[in-house]
Amino acid sequence: MAVAGCGSPSSNNGSSDGGGAKGIETQESAFDPTAKGPAAEVPGAKKGGVITVFSQVTPNTFDPTDTYYADALAIEKLIFRSPTQFAIRNGKPVLVPDLTDLGTVSSDKLTWTFKMQSGIKYADGSEVKVEDLAYAIKRSFAHDVFANGPTYQLTTFKDGDKYKGPYAGGDSFAGVETPDPTTLVVHLARPFADLPLYLTFPVFTPIPKAKDTKENYKNNPLATGPYQFDTYTPGTELKLKKNPNWDPNTDAVRHQYPDGFDFKWGGEDPKTQQQVLNSAGEDANALNSYSIDASVIPQVSGDKKAQLIQGEQPCTYSVQLDTRKIPLEVRKAIAKAYPYDQLNKAGGLNSFNSQPASTVLPPSVPGYTKYDPLPGLSGVGQGDPAGAKADLEAAGKVGFELSWYYDNTKPVPQQTNQIRVDALKAAGFTVKPIGVTTAELRSKIADYDAPVNMGQAPQGWCSDWPSGGSWFPVLFQSHSVEDGTAWGMLTDKALDAKIDEIGNLPADQAVAKWGELDKEIMGKYVALPRYYGKLAFVIGTNIGGAEGDASAGEPFYLNMFLKN
């Protein structure tokens, strides 16, 4: 899934730069097909009050079809239910039934059948129907309207490469059918053993066709989870209130302890993290969801240690280099000149929130292979502008123009931008950074036709599930450019075929092959690896039930409560 932020670390698309620390424990998924609601009570949990969540980074949408940033996905678990879902047990994700069971697959592996729970309602009191699940699936193919959502269905579902969604393609789609009121059938173009894991995404939350308002749906989507929209000011604040029609007896994962949540975006993270740690008044009921800033580490290493929540984050953050526009020898010169250490320090990276990266896959994903870093791709070092300039001179590329977007409204991204400008200028490049507001940033970096050639989205990637199969097909196949999920904008048919070949292997055989492919792709200099994310966030003294969601590297809001 895409990851966030610009100028400091986070768990979705960003422009931050890398840190240092111990390796991350391998993430594994378990399955519990027998799990049923209600979810087990959280020890000491109480009801009532409102939890405030601060973050500098602003989610760009809450349309479930269009969501692929980890911070928004974490929030949407409060609002939307999906066919399957991850529970967090002993810190690890466990796949459990949600709206449906975990499915059964046909002998040829091309047809999956899911049985749906009955009696589930939307926040408006209307019944959730299996046809609404099917409609949501069809809606996910309207990629011209919802360009940012996940795209596995486009390449794995039957006729997924042809169908253009219900607006342009009508209701007839061979990839999904509903033979009776409790059965959802998915037809595949090729085996996709991870489908039950994929169905945890809100792109599969039910949407009634009659209530689909297309681009406006994001402003007040229909809730099935324990909370629904109360008030929403895009880019600034989202207040959630209780959904009175959520039935805990049907939900094996979620709780409804607080009366509501208040998500506030745009404030500088070091400032709001200090507020949370001070816990004066209402700030005791708050948390900051962003990775901990270096400025507050001395406090959480001391008397406020209990206010630090740590966990796994299956993510790698990077700086994109557009291979369509930047020749290989120039990409290598950028890597040689890149001022990792300076950017890491200015961006607030530290051993709590990051570990220097030199690969595509992070250590928490099976298939990760620690090979010797390629020149300039170690995530550390002050850069060698003089050496890079000599390489540009040899290639006849002195003065090559580099352009990127950055957030010009906050001190940290302004500072990291200037560090990058100074280093690349010293290396003989012409630089053209384009400043935009925090609210504009995600849409700007997601535009592959924009007048920039580096730093595009996704600026980081987190496992959709723990396998190289949720990385390489999404980031490096030719369709990734059209899908808006490419690192480096590669269109290489031989590479496409190699990724398909590995993806079709049994999981245990594919693991080592993904590791080999990792090094091959890094050798193309499609991106500068910055850091592997680590989860570390701060909570107010009145917050209970706080833990990390190892499936996404975000806070797990579903178990949180206020102690008093």
Tokens of 249: 């007896």
Q: Could you report the per-residue pLDDT of 411-462, keeping only the tens digit for each?
A: 999 999 999 999 999 999 999 999 999 989 989 999 999 999 999 999 999 9
pTM of the model: 0.80
User: What pLDDT does 9 receive?
Assistant: 32
Q: Could you report the per-residue pLDDT of 341-399, keeping only the tens digit for each?
A: 999 999 989 889 899 999 999 987 878 999 999 999 999 999 999 999 999 999 999 99
Q: Could you report the per-residue pLDDT of 8-25, keeping only the tens digit for each?
A: 333 333 333 322 222 333
Question: Which residues are CB-neighbours of 531 under 8 A, at least 6 positions away?
Answer: 9, 16, 17, 18, 19, 316, 317, 344, 349, 354, 355, 356, 357, 379
Query: What's the number of CA atoms in the CB half-sphere (13 Å) around residue 464?
Result: 27
User: What pLDDT does 14 receive?
Assistant: 33
- Which strands sit side by side in the sheet containing 535-539, from one edge to the other? 227-233, 237-242, 260-265, 50-55, 286-288, 535-539, 308-311
- Coil, strand or helix at 529: strand
pLDDT category, 559, cuts 50, 70, 90? very high
Which sequence spans correspond to the domains of the chain? 313-534
Distance CA 381, CA 530 (A): 11
Question: Which residues are CB-neighbours of 110 under 8 A, at least 6 positions away?
Answer: 158, 187, 188, 189, 190, 191
Q: Is the pLDDT of residue 466 over 90?
A: no
Distance CA 209, CA 214 (A): 10
Q: Which phi and psi (to 5°) does residue 438 adopt?
A: -55, -45
Average pLDDT of 103-119?
A: 96
- Which strands sit side by side in the sheet containing 30-31, from one edge to the other? 30-31, 92-97, 84-89
Report the DSSP pairing between strands 92-97 and 30-31. parallel
User: What pLDDT does 3 receive?
Assistant: 67
pLDDT category, 119, cuts 50, 70, 90? very high
User: What pLDDT does 13 receive?
Assistant: 31
Distance CA 124, CA 243 (A): 9
Q: Is the pLDDT of residue 27 over 60?
A: no
Alpha helices in 77-177 (DSSP H): 130-139, 152-156, 165-169
Q: Is the pLDDT of residue 199 over 60?
A: yes
Distance CA 395, CA 388 (A): 11
Distance CA 217, CA 230 (A): 15
Q: Is the pLDDT of residue 302 over 60?
A: yes
Tokens of 58: 């602003």
Calculate the average pLDDT of the chain: 92
Residue listed under structure tokens 């020890």: 43
Q: Is the pLDDT of residue 2 over 90?
A: no
Q: Which phi and psi (to 5°) does residue 528 adopt?
A: -100, 115
What percent of the chain is predicted at pLDDT more than 90? 82
Distance CA 458, CA 470 (A): 14
313-534 has CATH 3.10.105.10 classification = yes
Question: Which residues are CB-neighbours of 35 under 8 A, at least 6 positions away?
Answer: 87, 94, 96, 97, 252
User: What pLDDT does 350 receive?
Assistant: 87
pLDDT higher at 483 or 79: 79
Distance CA 55, CA 273 (A): 9
What percent of the chain is predicted at pLDDT more than 70? 95
Distance CA 459, CA 57 (A): 14
Q: Could you report the per-residue pLDDT of 132-153, keeping only the tens digit for each?
A: 999 999 999 999 999 999 999 9
- For residue 115, the cross-strand partners are 183
Of the listed ranges 232-241, 359-368, 534-543, the one predicted with least confidence: 359-368
pLDDT category, 509, cuts 50, 70, 90? confident
Distance CA 347, CA 18 (A): 8
